Amino acid sequence: MIMRRILTVTLCTLLFCLGAHAQTDKKEVRAGNKNFKKEMFNEAEIDYKKALIKDSLSNIANYNLANTYYSMSDYAQADRFYKAAQDSLDKIGKGADNYFNQGDSYLKQKNWGGAVEAFKDALRRNPTDMDAKSNLAYAQKMLENQQQNQDQNQDQNQDQQNQDQNDDQNQDQQNQDQNDDQNQNQQNQNQNDDQNQDQQNQDQNNDQNNDQQNQDQQGQEEQPKITPQAAQQMLQAIQDKEKETQEKVNKEKALQMLSKQKRINW
């Protein structure tokens, strides 16, 4: 991009445009111009600031200081002094150059919208400026690309948000399914545990019953066995007892019969 020339304080044009008051800063401005041409921008900055101390409204000092900051790639400061010089430069017919350089500063900062407006303002003051037309077309194209990229990024961000939302929903569903499976597995496990416990209890009861039956059977088996001889003796004793009892009963019957006979009347 092209930066327009700095303004000098020579010739009668300056005296005509600025008047006697502006002459107080011409020495510092001239010194700044010399340093600027030598690309001694730090020294030029000091000279132009000295001029502004003498006359803070000096359009030449503001404009040339803006160009100095532009050359030092300090575009934010350049914008500040371009704006400070604009009104007074319009009055002397130098506003187009000021807007042109300000547009270049915006291009350096990729402020495409600001550049478009600056070059439009430059062309309003100088419609035949081909450099301003070319820069305007470039700034407009870059602004269009920026807007397209922003729209594309917004679409991509929206798509990403939708994808993230779907992923979250899928993850939530997976988590829910996993929890359901875990709960079902836990229920099945609890049910199996209960069945196993019931079976263990049943087996334990069966074991206890079997143990009791075995103990009873063992107790029965452990009872002393009666020998045949002892059994015969016991049977004989029972028979003798029954015989004795029967004889006793017979004697009592005989006595009863005898008593009845004595009481019979003849």
What is the 8-class DSSP label of residue 110?
Answer: T
Report pLDDT for 259: 45
Mean pLDDT of 155-165: 81
Q: Which among 92, 178, 103 is positioned nearest to 143, based on CA atoms?
A: 103
Query: Among residues of the chain, what percentage have pLDDT more than 70?
Result: 79
Give me the mean pLDDT over the 152-174 stretch.
82
Is 205 a residue whose pLDDT tops 60?
yes
At residue 187, the pLDDT reads 82
The pLDDT-based confidence of 217 (bands split at 50, 70, 90) is low
Q: Per the confidence metrics, is the pTM higher than 0.85?
A: no
Residue 228 has pLDDT above 80, yes or no: yes
3-state secondary structure 112-145: HHHHHHHHHHHHHHCCCCHHHHHHHHHHHHHHHH
> What would the mean pLDDT of 147-166 be, rounded to a whole number?
83
Average confidence (pLDDT) over 205-216: 67
Integer Cα distance of 141 and 102 in angstroms: 18
Q: Please compute the mean of the pLDDT values over residues 73-95 and round it to a whole number.
A: 94
* Domain residue limits, the chain: 11-139
pLDDT-derived band at 20 (thresholds 50, 70, 90) equals very low
**Quick count: other Cβ atoms within 10 Å of Cβ 174?**
10
Residue with the larger pLDDT of the pair 168 and 16: 168
SS3 of the chain: the string is CCCCCCCCCCHHHHHHHHCHHHHHHHHHHHHHHHHHHCCCHHHHHHHHHHHHHHCCCCHHHHHHHHHHHHHCCCHHHHHHHHHHHHHHHHHCCCHHHHHHHHHHHHHHCCCHHHHHHHHHHHHHHCCCCHHHHHHHHHHHHHHHHHHHHHHHHHHHHHHHHHHHHHHHHHHHHHHHHHHHHHHHHHHHHHHHHHHHHHHHHHHHHHHHHHHHHHHHHHHHHHCCCCCHHHHHHHHHHHHHHHHHHHHHHHHHHHHHHHHHHHCCCC
Tell me which CATH homologous superfamily contains domain 11-139: Tetratricopeptide repeat domain (1.25.40.10)
Higher pLDDT, residue 120 or 155: 120
pLDDT band at 262 (very low <50, low <70, confident <90, very high): very low
Q: What is the mean pLDDT of the chain?
A: 81
Of residues 158 and 92, more confidently modeled: 92
Residue 234's pLDDT band (cuts 50, 70, 90): confident
Lowest-pLDDT choice from 56-60, 117-121, 163-167: 163-167
Angle separating helix axes 59-71 and 95-108, nearest 10 degrees: 20
Residue 182 pLDDT: 86
pLDDT score recorded for residue 60: 93
Interval 31-67: pLDDT, tens: 999 999 999 999 999 999 999 999 988 899 999 999 9
List the Cα angle 247/248/252 in 5-degree steps.
115
Would you say residue 265 has pLDDT above 50?
A: no
pLDDT of residue 248: 82
**pLDDT band at residue 22, thresholds of 50, 70 and 90?**
very low
Per cent of the chain over pLDDT 90 is: 43
